[in-house]
Structure 1
Amino acid sequence: MRLLILNPNTSRGVTDRIREAAEAAAMPGDAFTTTRPAFGPKLIVTDADAEEAKRAVIDTVRNYTAPCDGIVLASFGNTGAEEVRALRADIPVIGIASAAFATARALGGPFGIVTFGAGLVEGLRAKAEEAGLGAALIGISHVPVADFGDPGTVQHRFRAELAALCAQMHAKGAASIVMGGGPLAGLAPVLARDCPVPVIDGTRAAINLIRSVAVDHAEGAARRSGASGRG
């Protein structure tokens, strides 16, 4: 399976974390290209950030010419998803928020979100509500710091704090926990070792979701192409 995994922000460190998470989910024969736009915000926090990142995502996808079976948009804003689907209607396009929330819905019961910055809370809540899971969301917890610093290193610097937040979320009654934000890519399997309920990684969830449909999607496209060539 050939995937373009696109970090909509320009942080090299965050892109590295996303790449590591993707490679950990790879199977034999997979070929993943993880990249970031040439321009845009280092982290998407404000509406203005999101608009600039959307333009950068569209530009990156337009200029990507390698064979591709699917695209993962690795931000919790699902940045540019509708526009990218219009550009690449031939392949599945999945944002990590959509994939993470689909997993929480499938697991059932109340769930919580754990993230690293207070400024991300309302955006994460909005995405959960957009996914129709507002009633199931029991809370969003974040690391209690005023300045989280380099987003590419937050999961390493605040691992103990994030683990404690997961434990607290479980104690509140969460049946599953979503790690909120691209910079936390790959951390869920680590925290899951000491957490009694599933901890959901959006990047892994998106890859697995595309994997479940990409082969059938490609075979269907091939059949349609073959049929149109007859006559």
Structure 2
Amino acid sequence: MRILIVNVNTTESMTEAIGAQARRAAAPGTEIVALTPRFGAESVEGNFESYLCAVGVMDAVMRYDQPFDAVIQAGYGEHGREGLQELLEVPVVDITEAAASTAMFLGHKYSVVTTLDRAVPLIEDRLKLAGLDARCASVRASGMAVLELESQPERAVDAIVQQAAKAVEEDHAEVICLGCGGMAELEDKVRSRTGVPVVDGVAAAVTIAESLVRLGLKTSKVRTYAPPRAKRITGFPLPDSLGR
């Protein structure tokens, strides 16, 4: 089984970290291929960058020229998953939905701890669109920019752990979701401080994608995610052939 996991930003070191986390979660025999978009922002922290990354992710996937069995979009609260589902028959899993749906097996309410406050509405909207918002206790911002997760790791950990603890104590969350692909490897620190289960979206997405492939399930093509209709698309950066 081969799973593509696509970073939504163009920072290679973050792609490497996401790929490493995915490989730790993968079952024996699962090959993880981590991709970085050819274009886009170095970090994604708003609507403009999120829409831009959606095109970059689709481009990266459609330019990959080897067989694969599933795709993971490794951006929390970002746009683009639906476009990938139109382009592909294989399962497409978004880490936002993977983390939240996993959390609901583990407790009554979950909270998401993310980066900057401006990302909170994007995550709230994605959870609502996915029908996962009813059991979301809160989406909290750590105040740390995406790139600061690498440049100031100790400060980032402290800020994330602090907000996770407040989510449990003040918002009555019973599970914490790490709301950024770059927060991989923080589960143990957050768990030890809060005493609740902690879900990393990358790891959750890998296990969900593996399960869908093993079940032989593919994306439905009868209506919502039917392939794009054939027409001239001027200047679009994707390859000429959009179908698979």
CA distance in 2, matches of 1:190, 1:67: 37
Q: Which amino acid aligns with 2:135?
A: A
Name 2:79's counterpart in structure 1. Answer: 79
Q: Structure 1 residue 174: deviation in Å?
A: 0.7
CA distance in 1, matches of 2:54, 2:146: 24
CA distance in 1, matches of 2:139, 2:82: 26
Which runs of structure 2 are paired with 1:107-122 in the superposition (5 Å)?
Answer: 107-122=106-121
Name 2:242's counterpart in structure 1. Answer: none
CA distance in 2, matches of 1:157, 1:26: 29
Secondary structure class of the residue paired with 2:139 = strand
Q: Structure 1 residue 121: deviation in Å?
A: 1.4
How has the CA–CA distance of structure 1 residues 136 and 68 changed in structure 2, closer, same or farther, with 3 Å as cutoff?
same
Residue 163 of structure 2 corresponds to residue 184 of structure 1: no
Question: Tell me, which stretches of 5 or more residues in structure 1 are unaligned?
Answer: 220-231
Residue 68 of structure 2 corresponds to residue 98 of structure 1: no
CA distance in 1, matches of 2:215, 2:175: 29
Length-normalised TM-score, structure 1: 0.84
Length-normalised TM-score, structure 2: 0.80
How has the CA–CA distance of structure 1 residues 69 and 153 changed in structure 2, closer, same or farther, with 3 Å as cutoff?
farther
Secondary structure class of the residue paired with 2:43 = coil
Name 1:162's counterpart in structure 2. Answer: 160
Name 1:134's counterpart in structure 2. Answer: 133
Q: Structure 1 residue 151: deviation in Å?
A: 4.7
Which runs of structure 2 are paired with 1:49-88 in the superposition (5 Å)?
Answer: 49-88=49-88
Q: Which amino acid aligns with 1:117?
A: L
Name 1:228's counterpart in structure 2. Answer: none
Between the two proteins, what is the percent identity of the paired residues?
28
Q: Structure 1 residue 168: deviation in Å?
A: 2.0
Name 1:10's counterpart in structure 2. Answer: 10
Contact 2:97 2:132 in 1 (8 A): no
CA distance in 2, matches of 1:176, 1:93: 24
Name 1:209's counterpart in structure 2. Answer: 208
| Paired residue total | 217
CA distance in 2, matches of 1:152, 1:106: 31
Question: Tell me, which stretches of 5 or more residues in structure 2 are unaligned?
Answer: 219-244
Q: Structure 1 residue 58: deviation in Å?
A: 1.4
Q: Structure 1 residue 133: deviation in Å?
A: 3.2
Higher helix share: 1
Contact 1:125 1:134 in 2 (8 A): yes
How has the CA–CA distance of structure 1 residues 106 and 48 changed in structure 2, closer, same or farther, with 3 Å as cutoff?
same
CA distance in 1, matches of 2:76, 2:146: 18
